[in-house]
Amino acid sequence: MEIIIQQLINAVQLGAVYALIALGYSMVYGIIRLINFAHGDIFMVGAFIGFLLAVKFKLPFVFILLLTMFLTALLGIAIERIAYHKLRNAHRMSLVITALGVGTFLENLVRLAVGPQTRQIPAQLSNNILHLTNGIVVTEDKLLIIGISIMLMIVLWLFVNKTLIGKAMRAVADNIDVVPLMGINVDMIVSVTFAIGSALAAAGGIFFGQSYSIEPYMGIDLGWKAFIAAVVGGIGSIEGAVVGSFILAGIEVFTVAYLSSNLKNGIAFALLIILLVIWPYGIMGKPSLKKV
């Protein structure tokens, strides 16, 4: 029982990182129907900006987090303006392939800049061990990471559901053609979406770097996984992205704990495929009705 709860905490921590990435995928998809394959690499860039700020400038953790989120948000806006903006009304697949190109570009640029070796972000948070009841132990940084992630998700939910810009975002997601007629600046909304998505991914990158080593190609693997989590939850839905991420992380962590770490990806994806066959539009997704 203790082991299960212990693994559950690990799963929640990994799930929080997946969720922070998956939210960006889901929001961008919701707004402009683009699978932003560069998103995993934006997450990676965020982790490396955090690494540089921590190693070169030795800033305190809060500043690292905020500054990284800000800089990565600017990167997200720049990518959208330069690479995606012109293709918004183009064929969907040319947008997707551009996103793949941007992703490869970011990976190789970072590799050129910092080299291919893996690195560790120096620990910023105390890793004092806390003893909970029944012999369950948890480190403080884990709790903090989980706490901040959940806080970010709540802030995002409030932003999307309670503010005027959030309302405009939902309107754009609903019908991008009608929204300009209502006097909403679509370009601005798309930029805001990319900024938020990238900032969340950057936070995910820093949290990931607290527990795992980082390298320029890590965005591919985590990006695909977060994408799958977003789709399983129902792409375009914020709640769905979070639910999908925790399910994926849970499956992965428990497969490693009870079966074999070699089977991790295989079993995770097999279960996800089964989920998608049961719920073809994702757990929280709305089936899109086709009109003839």
Partner 1 sequence: MLEKAIIGKKSISAGSLKWIRLNAFFLISAAFVQMLGNIGFINQYYIHILTVMGMNIILVASLNLLNGYLGEFALGHAGFMGIGAYSGALIAIYLGLPFFPRLFFSLAGAAIVSGVVAYIIGLITFKTVGDYLAVITLGFNMIIVNIIQNIDFVGGPRGLVGIPKSTNFFIVAVCLSFTYTVLRNLVYSNYGRLWISIRENLIASELMGVNIIRMKNLAFTIAASFAGLAGSLWAQYQQFINPKSFDYTKTTEILVMLYLGGTGSLSGSILGVVVYTITMEILRNLLEFNPRLVELRMVISPMILIVIMLTRQFGLMGKREWKWIQPEKEGN
Chain contacts with partner 1 (rule: CB under 8 A): 29, 35, 83, 86-87, 90-91, 93-94, 96-98, 100-105, 108-109, 111-112, 220, 224, 227-228, 231-232, 235, 260, 262-263, 265-266, 269-270, 272-273, 276-277, 280-282, 290, 292
* CB of 105 vs partner 1, minimal distance in Å: 4
Selection from 195, 221, 197, 215 nearest residue 47 by Cα: 215
Cβ proximity to partner 1: between 155 and 270 the closer is 270
Min dist. Cβ of residue 18 to partner 1 (A): 15
Q: Of 64, 61, 48, which Cα lies nearest the Cα of 120?
A: 48
Nearer to partner 1, 5 or 83 (CB): 83
CB of 161 to partner 1, least distance (A): 24
Q: Quick one: 127 or 262, whose CB is closer to partner 1?
A: 262
Nearer to partner 1, 55 or 109 (CB): 109
Sign for the pseudo-dihedral over CA of 69, 51, 8, 286? positive
Angle at 163 between CA 157 and CA 166, to 5 degrees: 65
For 46-62, b where at least 16 C-beta lie within 10 A, e where not — what string? Answer: bbbbbbbbbeeeebebe
- In sequence order, what are the residues at sequence separation of 6 or more whose Cβ sits closer than 8 angstroms to the Cβ of residue 23? 153, 156, 197, 200, 230, 238, 241, 242
Nearest distance from residue 285's CB to partner 1, in Å? 9
Between 109 and 130, whose beta carbon lies closer to partner 1?
Answer: 109
Cα first-last separation, the chain: 54
Contact 37, 219 (CB under 8 A): no
Residue with tokens 């930029």: 191
Least distance CB 70 / partner 1 (angstroms): 25
**Residue owning tokens 């709305």:** 286
Q: Least distance (Å) from partner 1 to the CB of residue 83?
A: 6
Could you give the CA distance from residue 199 to residue 169 in angstroms, rounded to a whole number? 17
Comparing CB distances to partner 1, the nearer of 53 and 226 is 226
Sequence length of the chain is 292
Q: For residues 152 and 243, which CB has a smaller minimum distance to partner 1 in the complex? A: 243
Which 3 state secondary structure label does DSSP give 138?
strand
Q: How far is the CB of 47 from partner 1 (least distance, A)?
A: 19
Residue partners of 66: CB distance under 8 A and separation at least 6: none
User: Is residue 139 classed as helix, strand or coil in its secondary structure?
Assistant: strand
